Amino acid sequence: MYKVMLVDDEVIIREGLKTRIDWATHGFEWAGDYANGLEAQAAIVADPPDLIISDICMPFVDGLELAEFVHDHYPDIKMILLTGFDEFEYARRAIRLKVSDFILKPITAKEIRTLLQQIKLEMDDQRQLHNNIDLLHDQWSQSLPLLKERFWDKVLTTGVDHEEWEQHRIQFALPPLASPYYMAVIEPDIDHTIEYATSPSLQHVLQLDQQLSSVLPTILPATFVFASCIYSSRCVYLFASTAVDQESASTMSAQIEAVFQQLYALDHPDITISFTTGVGTGCSDLLDIPQQYQQAIQALDYRFLLGTGTLLSFSDIQPSVLSSTSFTDWEKDIVAQLSNNHLLEAQRASQHMAQQMILQRTTPTECRSQFRQVATRIQDWLSHLGLESVWNDWIQQSQWLTAPTLEQMLQQWNDALYATFTLLNEQTQIHSQQHIQKAIYYIEQHYAEAHLSLQEICSHVLMSTSSFSQAFKQHTELTYVEYLTRVRMDKAKELLRLTEYKFYQIAEKVGYTDPNYFSSSFKKHTGTTPKQYREQHRQVKELSP
């Protein structure tokens, strides 16, 4: 629906057009009618219509003056002028003001309807044209970042020559470049206050790129320029000279590295995000940029070993693979120390392994792989003990393997060793208590057997004699023999108090084949002979009411 406004000083004309035309049928909605151009101007400012039908001769502000106002301030509004005077000057001014039509009064309702249909078609065509232009502009604006991203993808993966760079330079607002070229890949350091954060957010990457792009021009030598992009969630900077063969690649590398070292040393106030930089060795041909990009990525990956918040150069890293013999030794040492209940030694062995990885520039992938192998070996050892659940929950979580630095991974590793060591001791203590309770029950059921031995108890609870003796003493504060003797003596005292069995019969019922040995043991345990004990308790019983 288009909004239509009527302006005429004759009320009868306004009312006639307003009531005799079915405006909605013709695609219009009524926006109001006004007696002169002055009133109409105020209404237009408040709510601009799409079409104005106006008389020319009106008080205050006539139709031509209103048309001029609309032409100057609202050029998209269409306007039809009605007049009772066939004067050329009116027509000439209407044409100059780009009035859609100039109609002589009187005019019939039928002529108005025809005119409205014609105007609506024109307005539909104009609206569609505007929409198409807006759509094309939006599509271009939306496509430009993607086109630029694809161009950079080609620069960094397959390479472009100098001619192709120049062809796209203006389109993507890129600087002119001259040899040599130098690549830097920069990534914000991870915010470790965010749980499970494994990579910087895109917001941090964009913010860092904005900060660096504003600071670098202030400290970069005047003979250097740079182009930058965000690629694979990293800030990529391509540095170049402003004149052909002005600098050698090695000289330029030294100067650019000095710029970044200056950034790190000055702790620039405009750069609020900690970052790590990986740089290549430099090249003299744009087509070699993909190789330089890979060098910078590999250098950046070595922050895992060498730490974050610094400059890492490809020329300073020399990866080597640790020998399988030394790695096996580390595996054995860590597991052996842990199995011998030596937590600190196991952690020291882990630290030593990490230090060797740094010294030998082991690749980050190999570092993680080796720690995973040690973790698997610990898991196998715990499985043999039936305690694999102690370690499984941790090893199955990949968080420790995605730690950004070896130091942080080692910290999580040592925390896991400590937690495992603690849980292992707790589990061992629980199992040990269960075995001891089982042994105590067995003793209380079989104390009367004269040949009940430590070996028989250990066989029953499936423990070695040394482990059982140590655990039994910790649990009862008595040795096995002391505990068995106390059980037998307590039962003997009960029989002496409550029965009239002979002493040799009581000795036999509590596991003694030699009555004399029973008597001496009883006296040693209670301070009295069996006979004295019975008589003492018999007297007490007689004295009781």
Number of H helices, E strands in the chain: 21, 10
What does the pLDDT read at residue 336? 86
Break the chain into its structural domains and give their ranges: 2-128, 162-316, 324-409, 447-543
Number of residues in the chain: 545
DSSP annotation of 32 reads: E
| 307, 182 contact by CB (below 8 A) | no
CB atoms within 10 A of CB 230: 16
pLDDT string in tens for the chain (545-residue length)? 889 999 998 888 888 888 888 888 888 988 899 999 899 999 999 999 988 888 888 888 888 888 889 888 998 888 888 776 655 456 566 666 567 666 777 777 788 888 888 888 888 888 888 877 877 777 776 778 888 899 999 999 999 999 999 999 888 889 998 888 999 999 998 754 444 445 678 888 999 999 999 999 988 888 889 999 999 999 999 999 876 555 566 778 888 888 888 888 877 788 888 999 999 988 889 999 999 999 999 999 999 888 888 999 998 886 554 444 466 787 788 888 887 778 899 899 999 888 888 888 888 888 888 888 888 888 888 787 776 666 766 666 667 788 888 888 898 888 888 887 887 777 777 777 888 889 899 998 999 988 999 999 898 888 888 878 888 888 888 998 999 999 999 999 999 888 888 988 988 999 999 999 999 999 998 899 998 988 888 766 555 55
User: What pairs with residue 283 in β-bridges?
Assistant: 181
The H-assigned helical ranges of 447-464 are 454-461
Residue with tokens 């198409």: 132
Residue 371 C-beta-side C-alpha neighbours within 13 Å: 32
* CA 335 – CA 350 distance, rounded (Å): 10
CATH architecture of 447-543: Orthogonal Bundle (1.10)
What does the pLDDT read at residue 417? 85
SS3 sequence of 468-515: HHHHHHHHHCCCHHHHHHHHHHHHHHHHHHHCCCCHHHHHHHCCCCCH
* CA 288 – CA 179 distance, rounded (Å): 11
* CA 460 – CA 455 distance, rounded (Å): 9
* CA 205 – CA 186 distance, rounded (Å): 9
Nearest to 63 by CA among 52, 74, 72, 73: 52
In single-letter form, the type of residue at position 314 comes to: F
Classified as helix, coil or strand, 536 is helix
| 209, 235 contact by CB (below 8 A) | yes
For every residue of 68-85, DSSP letters joined together read HHHHHH-TTSEEEEEES-
Classified as helix, coil or strand, 333 is helix
**2-128 belongs to CATH 3.40.50.2300:** yes
DSSP annotation of 314 reads: G
| 335, 382 contact by CB (below 8 A) | no
31 sits in which H/E element: strand 28-34
Nearest to 425 by CA among 390, 378, 392: 390
Gap between the terminal Cα atoms of the chain: 115
Nearest to 376 by CA among 348, 396, 362: 396
What does the pLDDT read at residue 90? 62
| 488, 447 contact by CB (below 8 A) | yes
* CA 156 – CA 171 distance, rounded (Å): 18
User: What pairs with residue 311 in β-bridges?
Assistant: 277
* CA 54 – CA 34 distance, rounded (Å): 9
What does the pLDDT read at residue 139? 72
Classified as helix, coil or strand, 449 is coil
In single-letter form, the type of residue at position 491 comes to: K
CB atoms within 10 A of CB 523: 14
The H-assigned helical ranges of 109-196 are 109-157, 162-169
Q: What backbone phi and psi angles, to 5 degrees, belong to 192?
A: -80, 0
The reply to whether omega before 530 is within 30° of 0 (cis) is no
For every residue of 358-422, DSSP letters joined together read HHTT--HHHHHHHHHHHHHHHHHHHHHTT-THHHHHHHT--GGGG-SSHHHHHHHHHHHHHHHHH
Tokens of 5: 């406004």
Cα torsion angle, 369, 375, 378, 383, sign: negative
CATH architecture of 162-316: 2-Layer Sandwich (3.30)
